[in-house]
Amino acid sequence: MRKTVVYLLCAILSLLSSESVFAADKTRILLALEQAKNVVNQLNIKSADSNLVDGDLAAARRYLLKAETIYKENTSWKSLLGISDTVEQEILDYAEMSEHTAKIGLSKIDRQKVEQEYLQLEKKVAIAKDKIKVLEEKAVEVATLKATTSKLQSTAKEMVALKADQASVEQLKKENALLVQKSESLQNEKKYLLEQMELLKLEKATLTGQLEAIRAEKKLDELQIKKQQEAQQTGKKLSTAERAAEFKSKLSALGAITGITQNSIVLILPRGDLIKTTAKGHQLAPDAEKQVQKLIALMGQYPEYRLSLQAFGYGKPVKQEGEKAADQIARIVRDFFALHLGVKADTIGATGETTASPLFSKTAVEPHRRIELKFTLRQ
């Protein structure tokens, strides 16, 4: 009888100890479930008027339901020893997947809202352009009025010199005053329209920056997922030397390479692949997007390399090939890469060079016009 009582007391003490641990497990799990449930509810509310994230909402709910089901199955009165570490981790994983999926949906909704605002801004810009067109037409009218005013003034002087009729002279003066007033009115209207256009440009720049930030975040997420998938497929990590050799091999398929050291390599591209030069100045070439996408994809596979670049001109004519023009070309290419990489432009070094750094003979004009992309291992 005494042994039986002792055994019962031991069992009760063990049960109380288990319940204490179980309570600690439940608190951590319940917090994770509550946090996931809050994010899912937020997504459900924000997606009420849109079917953009129906898939994300359904997936988040499935993960949350899975986590709650496992929790209920392991917290019945039979589970006296509490939740095992494996089951606890499984519940936390499903809760985290539910929360992450819901956050992706919220991000999509926010991105859609910014894109809609961007479209509205484009419409405002179109309206501003129409106003500018009207303004230019009025400017032509002002010029005509000024010419007429000049003629009237000349006529008035001739009439005074010839002692013409004083009444006609006074009439011409009045007409001249009216023309001056109309000209001043048109100038004030032009100033107002220009101020409105600058405000619209500022608003567009702000929204464009927000949209580019979202696109950059999306690209980084896609790049991270792709890197994880590649790591799972290969099952091993290449050494630094092996990756450098592999990077050099793939880079050579995109253009001529030079300046190879232990920590860096330079890729030379014809400037015409990225930049188109016209009488109006420099701009991106039609196939620049395609060329840059190849390089961006390769840099995504080798994030340990940092990019810097130099743009080379021939020097003549100075307006299009001088050092100032080469710097402008470098900035255009740098900004294009920064946009696609989703980074700030000032993190990419970019300079312009002319005949101070010749690569070919002076008679070989076109080969001097080139873009050199330098890839350096990050320290």
Write the pLDDT tens digit of every residue in 255-272.
889 889 889 999 999 999
CA 50/CA 115 separation, integer angstroms: 15
CA 172/CA 177 separation, integer angstroms: 9
Task: Looking at the structure, tell me whether residues 16 and 98 fall in a common domain.
Answer: yes
Phi, then psi, of 74 in degrees rounded to 5: -110, 10
Task: Looking at the structure, tell me whether residues 367 and 248 fall in a common domain.
Answer: yes
Task: Looking at the structure, tell me whether residues 346 and 311 fall in a common domain.
Answer: yes
| More confident: 314 or 98 | 98
Q: What is the pLDDT of residue 186?
A: 77
Q: What is the number of other CB atoms lying within 10 angstroms of the CB of residue 326?
A: 25
Structural domain containing residue 26: 2-112
Distance linking the first and last C-alpha atoms of the chain: 75
The CATH number of the domain holding residue 299 is: 3.30.1330.60
Task: Looking at the structure, tell me whether residues 344 and 260 fall in a common domain.
Answer: yes
Reported as a pLDDT band with limits 50, 70 and 90, residue 351 is very high
In the predicted model, what is the mean pLDDT of residues 316-326? 86
| Closest of 263, 258, 284 to residue 337, by C-alpha | 284
Task: Looking at the structure, tell me whether residues 179 and 90 fall in a common domain.
Answer: no
Q: Is the Cβ–Cβ distance between 369 and 272 less than 8 Å?
A: yes
Half-sphere exposure of 340 (CA within 13 A, CB side): 19
- Would you call 145 exposed, middle or buried from its count of C-beta atoms within 10 A (0-12, 13-18, 19+)? middle
Task: Looking at the structure, tell me whether residues 51 and 86 fall in a common domain.
Answer: yes
- Give how far Cα 95 sits from Cα of 57, 67, 75, 306, 330, Å: 14, 6, 17, 37, 48
| More confident: 355 or 71 | 71
Share of the chain above pLDDT 90, in %: 36
Q: What is the pLDDT of residue 217?
A: 54
Reported as a pLDDT band with limits 50, 70 and 90, residue 113 is confident
pLDDT at 19 over 60: no
In the predicted model, what is the mean pLDDT of residues 118-128? 89
Task: Looking at the structure, tell me whether residues 106 and 12 fall in a common domain.
Answer: yes
Reported as a pLDDT band with limits 50, 70 and 90, residue 42 is very high
> What's the structural domain count of the chain?
3
SS3 317: coil
In the predicted model, what is the mean pLDDT of residues 326-334? 94
Domain edge (last residue) among 69, 87, 112:
112
Q: What is the pLDDT of residue 44?
A: 92
Task: Looking at the structure, tell me whether residues 90 and 21 fall in a common domain.
Answer: yes
Q: Which two tokens stand for residue 28?
A: 């951590």
Asked which of 47-51, 67-71, 236-240 is least confident by mean pLDDT, the reply is 236-240
Domain edge (last residue) among 71, 87, 112:
112
User: CB within 8 A of 332, min separation 6: which ones?
Assistant: 275, 282, 283, 284
Task: Looking at the structure, tell me whether residues 271 and 191 fall in a common domain.
Answer: no
Q: What is the pLDDT of residue 316?
A: 81
Q: What is the pLDDT of residue 279?
A: 81
Handedness of CA 99, 105, 111, 117 (dihedral sign): negative
Task: Looking at the structure, tell me whether residues 258 and 343 fall in a common domain.
Answer: yes
Question: pLDDT (tens digit, 9 = 90+) per residue, 271-296?
Answer: 999 999 888 889 999 989 998 999 99
CA 273/CA 39 separation, integer angstroms: 47
Please state, rounded to an integer, the average pLDDT across all residues of the chain.
81
Task: Looking at the structure, tell me whether residues 108 and 121 fall in a common domain.
Answer: no
Task: Looking at the structure, tell me whether residues 155 and 245 fall in a common domain.
Answer: no
Q: What's the pTM?
A: 0.40
Q: What is the pLDDT of residue 236?
A: 46
Phi, then psi, of 123 in degrees rounded to 5: -65, -40
For residue 317, say if its preceding peptide bond is cis, omega within 30 degrees of 0: yes
Tell me the one-letter amino acid at 377.
L
SS3 256: strand
Q: Is the Cβ–Cβ distance between 148 and 140 less than 8 Å?
A: no
Domain edge (last residue) among 217, 233, 249:
233
